[in-house]
Chains A and B, each alone.
Chain A
Amino acid sequence: MNHHRRRFVAGFLAVPVTLYTVYVLSPCAQALVIALTDWRGVNAVPRFVGVDNFRRLLGDEVFLRAAGHNLLLLALVPPLTIGLALLFAWLLTGDGTARRTVRGAGLYRVVFFFPQVLAVVLVAVLFRQILRPDGNGMLNAPLTALGFAPVGPLADTDLALWAVLFVLVWQAVGFYVVLFSAGIASIPRELFEAAAIDGAGGGRLFLRITLPLLRDTVQAGWVYLGVAALDVFAVVWVMTAEHGGPDHSTTVMAAEVYRNAFHYSRFGYACAMGVVLFVITTGFAVLVLRLTRRERIEFR
């Protein structure tokens, strides 16, 4: 191993690895230890309680519901977002043969992207007002004017989570529209033309050419959206009543971690929740990464 080369590698890795170790890996390791205690604050002496926190999690209805909500979001946010985004991207770029784009495609893309540039918190505050349950909210004013009863999705334990899902998808779609239409635009035109000569129509072109060629992009998006669905916090914390309510109907694991750590001072228990969240997220990521493994090219 050549000397220069070794120094170069070490020099390039030193700062990133140090930062990563200090701010990510070491807190992570500490969390694993804290999870085994009943630590309740900086001055209380942490007592080692083994796996008590984890045993208790299994019986914690609220946490189990939170985990269920995360899994539901994991199952729904990526396909809905990607499905809508693919549809819009496809409509925007046309069928590829004539490279005929819809009029105003650029404007659509800009508009679709808007929610992404608003911070999530802002979106949450906005929707809290929009979904107000009395007759005056943005949603209800036209409904009541038409003679319908006002609806209060955020006040209804059966609907609130769907409102959260809607807001998450509402915000995410635009980014993927831009991403996918960029992807479609980069597909060599000849491929479409060749297929069109073979007699494939718009829908079949999409299924046979566009989708397979976008596969990797879609996969990357899926990972990102999946991790985001497991990490949901701001929308739930800011938008819903009772920070994850009503009656825990929208709570997610991240909200329970935050609540237990910073509201109830149950740092040990909160860390145990974090560990479970971590295991689930890692499981998901490993699963997807196995599918996206690729060849490596190396010097010498």
Chain B
Amino acid sequence: MTLTVRHERVIVNSPFPFSRRPGVSRRELLRGAALAGLGPLTLSACAFPVGAPPPPEGGGVPRIAEDGPLEIWIFDGGLGDDYARTIHEPLVAARFPRLRISHNATKEIARTLQPRFVGGDPPEVVDNSGAGAMDLGALVQDGQLTDLTPLYAAPSWDDPAVTVRETVDPTAIELGGYGGRPYVMNYTTTVWGIWYSRPLFEARGWRPPRTWARFLDLCEEVRRSGMAPFTYAGTHPQYIYEPILTLAAKIGGRRVLTDIDNLAEGAWQAEPVRLAATAFAELGARHLLLEGTAGLDHVQTQIAQNRGLVAMLPCGSWLENEQRGSAPDGFGYAMFPLPDFGPSDAMPYGTLHAQPGEEYIVPARSANPGAGLEYLRAMLSRKASGRFTETVSTLTVVRGAAEGLRLTPGLESARAALAAAGGNVVSSMFRRWYSELHDEVAAASGQLMGGAIDADRWAERAQRKADALRADPSVRKFTRR
């Protein structure tokens, strides 16, 4: 046995490698003691879980430890993070003064917090949003999230006679569900549409188009005026697959989107999806996109719009708030819903993609999940959600909380569109459930708009990814109706 190899082995087997050997000299003993410091290091060198730890206690409702920690992580994106500090945290602190609340913000939720989850030391509340959000499907699958059923069953913050469930938009609760249980609290309601500057359109005599043909006419007219008609965040092509899918739902009905979410066979190759993709690809083919769109990100395109270089872009209702500092005074944001594609559309004019969002979760393995639930309950109070809407120009899922508020033009436009849509609202879940599918569709959509692939190839790529996920037993499946 060679010297070095034995040496290694001894360390691995015993925390006190040299001291057990008979007849060691004093110096060796000393050196052994020094090396003993390294011994435990070696013992901890195994990462792989030998047996998975048991899932968190089922059944019991997490109780708040009133003198425990409440670590909050807010996604510092379009909404900023001040709202949590100024509205929600004081509300909780007033009722539970001994809680040790710590406020944190990041632009990169996954990069910052994923390791904490993996490490078993997650915070109590996470606002899982933004481009760098975590894969919630994987977290649910891992048993990392607290079941929010007790939250919705609890009395509401304002009125003990009413449960939280009764105050919240039911779709929001449904869409926060995984396998029939709510794990995610959607806080905001986001409305998607095509955004423009109302004063600009009025000055030029342009009107929001009601049909696709009129939309193309408008684009040509805008182009003749020397302005680029349309753009989207090219480096984040999900900004363009969103309107494609909404148009597909409008052509073919809600089923189009639920099939996609359910990984149904051939869902991506259904005729309405193909038609919608072809329609949007035509914008690229007819050079109706802002020059360089493919390489610009959301900020760059939005600033281009603020500077009058491009007339329209698809976005969610966070846009106005996000551009607060950049849009010139009187830019006058407004949005219109996707135009009718044809007379045989399954859904009427005004159909909207509106989605509960800003996903709040309470990690199950946090030190004080009960405090996390209380924090969420406070967020859903009328007072908190009303002030939230006023502060960050974003609607919440709390019913009627925005009543009587004075809204900014863009938000008012989105609210009006949502009211006009009535029940004709669609939503989509696969992005949240299967981030791999999302990445593939986004990548393919960029190529579709650039003319590198056609709608058939685009659909084929998406379908292939969906099929692969369906066939992969290691991927947890979700379904919706």
Contacts and interface: CB of A to CB of B under 8 A. Distances in A.
A touching B, CB within 8 angstroms: yes
Interface of A: 6-7, 9-11, 13-15, 17-18, 21-23, 26-27, 30, 33-34, 38, 40-47, 131-135, 150, 152, 154-157, 241-242, 245-248, 262-266, 268
A265 to B, nearest CB: 4
Nearest to B41: A22
Contacts of B304: 134
A14 B35 CA distance: 8
B203 interface: no
Given A133-B294, A246-B235, 8 more contacts: A47-B474, A134-B292, A134-B295, A150-B291, A152-B294, A152-B295, A156-B295, A266-B474
B143 to A, nearest CB: 5
B11 A18 contact: yes
Contacts of A34: 48
A242 B295 contact: no
Contacts of A135: 291-292
B451 to A, nearest CB: 11
Contacts of B7: 10, 13-14, 17
Nearest to A154: B295
Contact of B142 (A44, A150, A241): A44
B135 interface: yes
Given A26-B46, A42-B118, A242-B442, A265 B135 contact: yes
15 contacts: A13-B4, A21-B8, A21-B12, A22-B45, A40-B141, A40-B474, A41-B138, A132-B296, A134-B291, A134-B295, A150-B291, A242-B442, A242-B443, A245-B446, A246-B450
Given A133-B294, A242-B442, A264-B435, A157 B118 contact: no
Interface in B304-358: 304
Contacts of A15: 38
A155 B294 contact: yes
Nearest to B132: A263
Nearest to B17: A14
Nearest to B434: A264
Contacts of A265: 135, 138, 142
Contacts of A10: 3-4, 7
B90 to A, nearest CB: 34
Contacts, number: 155
A195 to B, nearest CB: 48
Nearest to B114: A262
A10 B119 CA distance: 35
A18 B294 CA distance: 50
Contacts of B141: 40-41, 44
Interface string B221-254: 0000000000000111100000000000000000
B295 A155 contact: yes
A155 B292 contact: yes
Nearest to B44: A22
Given A47-B474, A135-B291, A247-B443, A17 B4 contact: yes
Interface in B1-60: 3-4, 7-8, 11-12, 28, 31, 35, 38, 41-42, 44-49, 52-53, 55
* Most chain B CB within a 10 A radius of its CB, from A7, A9, A41: A41
B378 to A, nearest CB: 29
Contacts of B474: 38, 40, 47, 266, 268
B170 interface: no
B424 interface: no
Contact of A246 (B114, B135, B447): B447
Interface in B72-124: 110-111, 114, 117-120
Which 9 residue pairs of A and B lie closest in terms of their CB atoms, listed nearest first? A155-B295, A133-B295, A241-B235, A133-B292, A155-B294, A152-B295, A265-B138, A38-B474, A134-B292
B452 interface: yes
Contacts of B55: 43
B183 to A, nearest CB: 15
B42 A18 contact: yes
B393 interface: no
B475 to A, nearest CB: 8
Contacts of A152: 292, 294-295
B444 interface: yes
A40 B49 contact: no
A23 B42 CA distance: 9
Contacts of B11: 18
Contacts of B174: none
A245 B142 CA distance: 29
B300 interface: yes
Contacts of B300: 132, 134
A21 B4 contact: no
B436 interface: yes
B146 interface: no
A42 B3 CA distance: 37
Interface string B123-149: 000000000000100110111100000
B47 A27 contact: yes
Contacts of A247: 443-444, 446-447, 452
Given A41-B118, A134-B300, A264-B138, A46 B49 contact: yes
B445 to A, nearest CB: 9
B52 A44 contact: yes
A155 B290 CA distance: 13
Contacts of A132: 292, 295-296, 300
A11 B32 CA distance: 10
Contacts of B110: 262-263
A265 B141 CA distance: 11
Nearest to A247: B443
Contacts of B236: 241-242
Interface in B277-315: 290-292, 294-297, 300, 304
Contact of B3 (A9, A18, A134): A9
Given A14-B35, A21-B42, A263-B435, A245 B291 contact: no
Contacts of A41: 118, 138-139, 141-142, 144
A43 B446 contact: no
Contacts of A245: 235, 443, 446
A81 to B, nearest CB: 26
